Amino acid sequence: MPLLKVDDLRTYFHTREGVVRAVDGVSFQVEPGETLGIVGESGSGKSVTNLTLMGLVPMPPGRVESGTARFNGVDLLRCSRAEHRAIRGKRISMIFQDPMTALNPYMRVGRQIVEPLLIHERCSGKEARERAVRALETVGIQDAPRRLLDYPHQFSGGMRQRVMIAMALITRPQLLIADEPTTALDVTVQAQILELIKQIQSEMGMAVILVTHDLGVIAEVCDRVLVMYAGRIVEAATTRKLFQRPGHPYTRALMASLPAARKKGEALYSIKGMPPDLTQPINGCPFAPRCEVAVPRCQSAAIALREFREGHETACIREQEGELP
């Protein structure tokens, strides 16, 4: 049984400029212990999908228009606020992109780390402190008992992300949502943080949803991948299959735009055009206007995610019909 099963999730933002369909009919599932990558460019809905699951989308202007998200049998989109609070921070934890701003600058990190224990497990102060020391040691922070008394600004960026991870994992959650956890960090630190997440995951056996726009990160840590575009999932596959043969022109374009895909000195590939305006209804495939292999049919046909080979789904109709090489 999947740990998390999301069906037909739609999160819209009702703004003055119109209704922004940030997440428009997304379905996926996460198995216990697996790492699911979600990749896509800015505005593709990958963050909003996760914030919706966490109940952190500001409402208004946001609104969940449809869908279910079953986590251990509880529908996260329909449960009471109190029920949701009891799950988040306890069984689902989240870490964010920018560790420089995600920690409270006015509070000692120790107090921030123990907070989930105090409210979810009603730990005694002493036990909470001991567990915080262990958590900091687990994420590789030296001299943990003393560091608990420091404020966030006394840590470097990488160290703060370690603190965030320690805080997220202190309740031993079943699911960790990492929203671009390495984007704001130095390249050398990025690898360390990914390594750390992978290592803790294998020790604790939790599932991870890793949101990123970096295909390199996906290749390194994920078991399965969802590719998002314009609020929809356009491709879903195991990491191996995705990199072996991408099943959507968008994914192929993303891979072609990696600097490593070109020889040194050669101009980098970029996808022509802009992502679609999400306030306008989209007919057919959202990527069709920018697609190099689009045919007139792409703009009108009904688009749905279908398996075109084992363990590999795509929303591209030409791929589904085997028209692409």
Partner 1 sequence: MTKFILRRLLSFIPVFFIIVTMLFFLIRIAPGGPFQGGERAVPPEVLEKLRETYNLNAPLYRQYVDYLVDLAQGDLGPSMYQPSRTVTEWVQLRFPVSLELGFYALLVAMTLGFLAGITAALRPNTITDYVPMSFAMVGICIPNFVLGPVLVLIFALKLGWLPVAGWADPLDKVLPSLTLGTAYAAYVARLARGGMFEVLAQDFIRTARAKGLSETRVILRHALRGGVQPVIAFLGPAAAGLLTGSFVVEQIFQVPGLGKQFVDAAFNRDYTMLMGAVLVYAVLILCFNLVVDVIQAWLDPRVRYG
Count of chain residues binding partner 1 (CB under 8 A): 28
Cβ 138 to partner 1 shortest distance, Å: 18
Cβ 54 to partner 1 shortest distance, Å: 6
Q: Residue 116, exposed/middle/buried by CB under 10 A (0-12, 13-18, 19+)?
A: buried
Among 7, 31, 65, 115, binds partner 1 (CB under 8 A): 115
Rounded distance, CA 192 to CA 68, Å?
35
Among 3, 64, 94, 208, binds partner 1 (CB under 8 A): 94
Determine, following the binding rule CB under 8 A, whether residue 119 of this chain makes contact with partner 1.
Answer: yes
Helix (H, G, I), strand (E, B) or coil at 90: coil
Determine, following the binding rule CB under 8 A, whether residue 167 of this chain makes contact with partner 1.
Answer: yes
Question: CB-side exposure of 254: number of CA atoms within 13 Å?
Answer: 26
Among 8-16, 61-69, 86-94, 305-313, which window interacts with partner 1 (CB under 8 A)? 86-94
Q: Fill in the DSSP letter of residue 288.
A: G
Rounded distance, CA 135 to CA 114, Å?
10
Among the listed residues 272, 296, 271, 273, the one whose alpha carbon sits nearest the alpha carbon of residue 284 = 296
Cβ 46 to partner 1 shortest distance, Å: 16
Among 5, 90, 172, 290, binds partner 1 (CB under 8 A): 90
Determine, following the binding rule CB under 8 A, whether residue 106 of this chain makes contact with partner 1.
Answer: yes
Determine, following the binding rule CB under 8 A, whether residue 79 of this chain makes contact with partner 1.
Answer: no
Nearer Cβ to partner 1 (56/191): 56
Residue 124 CA, distance from chain mean position: 33
Determine, following the binding rule CB under 8 A, whether residue 12 of this chain makes contact with partner 1.
Answer: no
Nearer Cβ to partner 1 (97/138): 97
Nearer Cβ to partner 1 (22/303): 22
Token digits of residue 34: 């697996």
Among 24-32, 33-41, 89-97, 247-255, which window interacts with partner 1 (CB under 8 A)? 89-97
**Rule CB under 8 A: which of 146-165 touch partner 1?**
151, 153-154, 164
Cβ 45 to partner 1 shortest distance, Å: 18
Cβ 91 to partner 1 shortest distance, Å: 9
Residue 207: which residues within 8 A CB-CB, separation 6 or more? 3, 4, 30, 31, 32, 33, 34, 35, 36, 174, 175, 176
Among the listed residues 48, 80, 78, 17, the one whose alpha carbon sits nearest the alpha carbon of residue 280 = 17
What is the amino acid identity at position 47?
S
Cβ density class 238-262: b for 16+ within 10 Å, e for less: ebebbeeebbbbbbbbbeeeeeeee
Query: What residues does 65 pair with on adjacent strands?
Result: none
Nearer Cβ to partner 1 (116/247): 116
Cβ 98 to partner 1 shortest distance, Å: 6
The residues that touch partner 1, with contacts defined as CB under 8 A, are 54, 56, 85-90, 93-94, 96, 98, 101-107, 115-116, 119-120, 151, 153-154, 164, 167
